[in-house]
Structures are given as C-alpha cells and as structure tokens.
Structure 1
Amino acid sequence: MIRHMVRHHNILSIVGNIITVSVPETEGNSDAITRFGDLAMVEDEFSTSIAQVIKIDRNEIALQVFSGTQGVSNAASIRFLGTAMKVTYSADILGRIFNSLGEPMDGGSNLAHDPKVSIDGPSVNPVKRILASKMIRTNVPMIDVFNCL
C-alpha cells in the first residue's frame, strides 16, 4: 500500500496549531512508518494545509499545522507524505520570490526539475568554520560589536 494515499480520520484533538491523530500500529511494514519531521497533508472539506510531525507516541502522532487550524474540524483527513520538507537549491532561485513553503510566487520559470535539499539537515559546527580576517563595518553599533564573532 502506498503511504501517501492512506487517509487517517481519527483526530483525537485540535489545540492551537497542533493536531493529534491516532494511527494504527504498523508491525513489520517499514514502508508505512511515519518519522519525526515528516510532512503531512490535513485535508478538510474547504481547505488543505501542510503539517509536520512533531511528536510520536506509540500510535498517537502530533502534527504542527503551518497555516493554522482555524476552520479545521475533527472530520478532516490526514495523509502522511513520508518525506521531510525540501527546498529548491540551484542558480535558478536567485532573485526569485517565494512563499513560506518555498514555492515560487513571482510567476517565473518552473523549478520542478531543479535539485531539492532537505531543510532539516545538521547545522554547521561553528568551531570548524573559517574565521573572518577583515571586519565588515555596518555603522550599526550592535552589529559591529559582535562582528568579530
């Protein structure tokens, strides 16, 4: 069974921007496992929103809905997409305007075939970075004071 086609309808609670949904336990089927940070679609009668898995507790999964839960009912369905959020990484994005989900808003060229990278990768170790050899003066005192860091 393809995971992103399965809809879950057992919403336990909606509190603020967090939806808690009960999903059946999947034993032995590694393809159906939902991971921390995966995306999900919350589909209601009138709207569709993207959410991210923020907590997994046995068969209860908590989702943070990016566009808010106002108007979402307990009758909404949840589809887990099985992938973390990704953004386009290419020279074609220079000068473009994007929304909060990384989708182009300016009507420019299609970026569907450009390479994508996951946004939840490891952070850069500050000890291993190359130190600046020259100060860039901004004439903003609070920035210039910490510029040496």
Structure 2
Amino acid sequence: MSESDAFPQHRPNVGIVLFNDQGLTWIGRRADVPHDRRWQWPQGGVDPGEDLEAAARRELAEETGIRSVDYLARTEDWITYDFPPGVIARDRRLGRKGWLGQKQIWFAFRFTGTEAEINLYGYGEPEFDQWRWEALTRVIDVAAPFKREVYERVIAAFGIFAVQNG
C-alpha cells in the first residue's frame, strides 16, 4: 500500500506551521467560520500526483501570499481527524465529496521574507480575514476544538523550532 492509499475515507491534505525568526507561528482567522475558535495554521488539499512539499508551498502561497520560506521538517506519518457532523452536512449541501475527515502531512517552514509579502486576498476568495504571530503552544486555545488532537501532535513534532517561553 502506498502512502497515499492510507485512510481512503479522509481527504489528502497538508498543513503548514510557519515560524518567524522569533520562533512564533503564523495563524489566520478563518473568514467563513462564525464562532470565536476559528484561528488555524494554513492547510489545504493535495492534487492527484502532487508532491506533498510542493502542495504545502502552493497552499501557503495561495492562502497567505507567502513564498519566502526555508524548509525545516515534516511529519513522517499521516495525522488524521474526522469532521464534526455539521461540516459533513455542509459539504453535502454544497455538493462536495463526502469525506469523513482529513489526513494530513504537516510541514514546518521558516519565514525568510518581510511581512509586506503577506497578502490574504491574492487568490480569489480569501481563506483568512486576519492574521497574527502566535506562540506555538497557544494556538490550541484559539483553534477549532475538533482539531485539538492534531494540533497537539504538530506541537510535539515541531516544538524544537518554537520560542521556548511561549
């Protein structure tokens, strides 16, 4: 079984943790979510046959405008989560494929550009309507609760790149 065949009911996806030179991470506030816990790291789907790191770089550019990054690390195995029932129902109403959740490979990158590069509106309808730099371990407090276990695993994997007192 190939890497892409694992978890066939989960959408192939990449997640990105972008660290600045102070060890803080970039998070965006989802534009399409009405509740307070709508901050997250960039993430997005993988096109058929697309290299995972290339997908992560593409998604980061599409969602944030950021291209100036250095590769730091990636998770080895898929990290999965199931969608809450409301997300599954919304997707069905919108005619999207009925995935049970997502399987993600996460990438850590170091931001090497300037904040002038950040553009949330460069690729059509924006994913995020605000952004900020946040301590790695504090992202769980502002992210959707159903992503908590994933974010805990990502924090454990990439904690070495974070600010130590955050």
Aligning the two structures, in what range does the TM-score lie when normalised by the shorter sequence? Answer: under 0.3
Q: Which has the higher contact order (CA 8 A, sep 6+)?
A: 2
> TM-score, normalised on structure 1?
0.23
